[in-house]
Amino acid sequence: MIAHPDSASQREVMILARAARLPGTLALPAQPRGLVLFAHGSGSSRLSPRNTAVAHQLRAAGLGTLLFDLLTETESADRGNVFNIDLLAQRLLAGTEWVRRQPEAASLNLGYFGASTGAAAALKAAAALTVEIGAVVSRGGRPDLAGDALPRVRAPTLLLVGSRDPIVLDLNQAALARLTCPARLVVVPGASHLFEEPGTLEEAGRLAAAWLVRHLAPQPAVGSAQ
């Protein structure tokens, strides 16, 4: 691994999902408190500047991150694949299985961070791995697209929506009603769908980091020295 500007070490990786080769970047602080896999939204990639910015905040909070492409370049050219939530969830599961085979990450508690359609993929994947996934965060997501998987999600889930994104807010409220896991919907004031307004993405990152650390970081043993 090489040193990263935010003090995490990082390496470029290649995740195999059947015939697909999916490039990504794994970054880990010196003593990670957990590891978060990112599921980007439609038309985006592992290089998404918004997810990259949030990943930086998570690493500052002591969490490792894995950003990787859910589709190959050829697959991304087909808009049907971009909105194929089942396929995206399968790729996220492939990334999860890959992480579990990495010595430096195998013992870490795992979480998902999904944006836009990636949030639906994250929830579908979490529903399939109720024991393994410790928390899910959705930013400007479409959790409604997870459909019948929503009631099966057991990982504590945080839904972040901008106050200037009323249609997606309505969809998130409907999805929240279907979740049976510990779940919370937080409206970020002044944010539109892409959280482009000054300070709004940083606030989403702060909320995400707090949620993920709370649910992923190992807790001190009862009776341990304070």
pLDDT, averaged across the chain? 90
Within the chain, strands assigned E span 2-3, 9-17, 20-28, 35-39, 64-68, 110-115, 133-139, 157-162, 183-188
Question: What is the signed CA dihedral for 121, 12, 107, 3, rounded to 10 degrees?
Answer: -130
Give 8 or 141, the one with higher predicted confidence. 141
Confidence class of residue 225 from pLDDT cuts 50, 70 and 90? very low
Cα separation of 82 and 77, whole Å? 8
Question: What is the signed CA dihedral for 109, 169, 76, 96, rounded to 10 degrees?
Answer: 10
Q: What are phi and psi of 114, to 5 degrees?
A: -120, 140
pLDDT digits (tens, 9 = 90+) for 16-37: 998 899 999 999 999 999 999 9
Angle at 17 between CA 6 and CA 22, to 5 degrees: 40
Q: Is the pTM of this model over 0.85?
A: yes
How large is the average pLDDT for residues 39-57?
83
Please, which residues have CB within 8 angstroms of residue 90's CB and are 6 or more apart in sequence? 17
**The tokens 């057991």 sit on which residue?**
154
> What SS3 class is residue 139?
strand
pLDDT digits (tens, 9 = 90+) for 173-224: 999 999 999 999 999 999 999 899 999 999 999 999 999 999 998 876 555 4
Looking from the CA of 119 toward its CB, the CA atoms found within 13 Å total 23
In a 10 Å sphere around its CB, with 0-12 CB exposed, 13-18 middle and 19+ buried, how is residue 113 labelled? Answer: buried
The pLDDT of residue 43: 64
The pLDDT of residue 46: 76
DSSP 208: H
* Domain residue limits, the chain: 2-216
Looking from the CA of 112 toward its CB, the CA atoms found within 13 Å total 36
> What SS3 class is residue 186?
strand
The pLDDT of residue 220: 64
List the one residue out of 10, 34, 167 whose CA is nearest residue 106. Answer: 34
pLDDT digits (tens, 9 = 90+) for 51-64: 899 999 999 999 99
The pLDDT of residue 195: 94
pLDDT at 111 over 70: yes
Domain spanning 2-216: CATH superfamily:
Alpha/Beta hydrolase fold, catalytic domain (3.40.50.1820)
How many residues are listed for the chain in this entry?
226
Cα separation of 166 and 12, whole Å? 38
